[in-house]
C-alpha cells in the first residue's frame, strides 16, 4: 500500500481532489467509484472549486456510488443519492445519464444488485475507486462478519454503522435503515486504482488494522492489502497508530 500522511484533513482533501482532476484531464471518460460519509465532504468541496475554476471537466465521466440504504428512494432526503446531489452532482457538468446508483427503493434487491454489477461491467469496470473507511473497518457497507460477499448484495447494518450515519437523519440513529445495498469486496477490489481517505483519531485503530493487521473478514478493509494499486491518504490523527509513519 502506498501511504501518504498530510498535516491535516484540509490538505488531504485538496490533494486528492487535485489528483483526481489531473487524472480526468488526461482521460476524460474515467469511470469513478464514489463514497459518501463525512470524510469525503472536503474532497467534493475541492472538486467543485476546481470545476468552477474551469480546471476539470466531468462531461465524459461516469460514476458508480458504493452503496445506498435499502428502502430509501433517490428523492428521499436521507438517501446517499441526495447526499451526492447536495454535495457534488448539482455543481458539476456530469451527464446525468452517466450517474449510477443502487436503487434503495427496489422491490427486488437481489435483481437490483445483479443489474448494478452488469452496469459496472458494461461501463468497462471502475478506473478509480475512492473510499472512506468505517471505524469498525468496513468499506462501502461491507461490515465485519464471519463471511464477506464478493459482489453487490444486501447487507444488515451494525449498530455502530447506523449511529455513524445518524447525521443524515437529523441525528436520530433510530431512523437509519437497518439494511443497505452495497458493492461487494470483489466489486471494489476489481477497480484499477483505489484511493482510500481517512481522517481523525477515531480512524487510527481501523487504519492500523487495515494496513498492518492480518487479512481478516473482521476488518474488511484489510483485503485492500491484496490490491496492487492502493493509495491510502491519511491525516496525522488517523496515522498515529501506524508503526512506520510516512510524512507528506
User: Interface residues with ligand GLP (CB under 6 A)?
Assistant: 35-39, 66-67, 132-134, 140-141, 161, 164-165
Report the residue number, 31 or 34, with the smaller CB distance to ligand GLP: 34
Instruction: Clarify whether 136 is annotated catalytic.
Output: yes
Q: Report in angstroms how near the CB of residue 38 gets to ligand GLP at its nearest.
A: 4
Instruction: Clarify whether 143 is annotated catalytic.
Output: yes
Report the residue number, 165 or 222, with the smaller CB distance to ligand GLP: 165
Catalytic residue among 138, 142, 153, 165: 138
Query: Locate cell 437523519: which residue?
Result: 169
Report the residue number, 37 or 144, with the smaller CB distance to ligand GLP: 37
Q: Cβ distance 1 to 239 under 8 Å?
A: no
Report the residue number, 95 or 202, with the smaller CB distance to ligand GLP: 202
Q: Cβ distance 52 to 22 under 8 Å?
A: no
**Cα–Cα dist 54/131, whole Å:** 25
Query: What residues contact residue 194 under an 8 Å CB cut-off, 6+ apart?
Result: 128, 129, 131, 188, 224, 227, 229, 230, 231
Q: Report in angstroms how near the CB of residue 162 gets to ligand GLP at its nearest.
A: 9
Q: Report in angstroms how near the CB of residue 202 gets to ligand GLP at its nearest.
A: 8
Catalytic residue among 68, 112, 127, 143: 143
Q: What is the DSSP string of 154-199?
A: EEEPPHHHHHHTGGGGTT-GGGS-SEEEE--HHHHHTSSEEEEEE-
Q: Cβ distance 87 to 45 under 8 Å?
A: yes
Q: Report in angstroms how near the CB of residue 39 gets to ligand GLP at its nearest.
A: 3
Residues forming the active site: 67, 136, 138, 143
Amino acid at each position: 500500500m502506498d501511504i501518504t500522511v498530510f498535516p491535516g484533513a484540509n490538505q488531504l482533501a485538496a490533494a486528492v481532489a487535485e489528483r483526481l482532476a489531473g487524472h480526468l484531464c488526461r482521460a476524460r471518460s474515467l469511470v469513478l467509484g464514489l463514497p459518501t460519509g463525512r470524510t469525503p465532504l472536503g474532497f467534493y468541496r475541492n472538486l467543485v472549486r476546481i470545476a468552477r475554476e474551469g480546471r476539470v471537466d466531468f462531461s465524459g465521466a461516469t460514476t458508480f456510488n458504493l452503496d445506498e440504504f435499502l428502502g430509501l428512494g433517490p428523492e428521499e432526503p436521507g438517501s446517499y443519492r441526495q447526499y451526492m446531489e447536495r454535495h457534488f452532482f448539482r455543481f458539476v457538468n456530469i451527464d446525468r445519464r452517466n450517474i449510477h446508483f443502487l436503487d434503495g427503493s427496489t422491490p427486488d434487491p437481489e435483481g437490483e444488485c445483479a443489474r448494478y454489477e452488469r452496469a459496472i461491467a458494461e461501463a468497462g469496470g471502475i478506473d478509480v475507486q475512492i473510499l472512506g473507511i468505517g471505524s469498525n473497518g468496513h468499506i462501502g457497507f461491507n461490515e465485519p462478519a464471519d463471511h464477506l460477499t464478493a459482489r453487490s448484495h444486501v447487507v444488515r447494518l451494525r449498530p455502530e454503522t447506523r449511529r455513524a450515519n445518524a447525521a443524515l437523519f437529523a441525528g436520530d440513529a433510530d431512523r437509519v435503515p437497518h439494511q443497505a445495498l452495497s458493492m461487494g469486496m470483489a466489486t471494489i477490489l476489481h477497480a484499477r486504482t483505489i484511493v482510500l481517505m481517512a481522517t481523525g483519531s477515531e480512524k487510527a485503530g481501523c487504519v492500523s488494522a487495515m494496513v498492518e493487521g492480518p487479512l481478516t473478514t473482521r476488518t474488511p478493509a484489510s483485503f485492500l492489502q491484496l490490491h496492487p494499486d492502493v493509495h491510502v491518504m491519511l491525516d496525522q490523527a488517523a496515522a498515529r497508530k501506524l508503526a512506520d509513519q510516512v510524512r507528506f
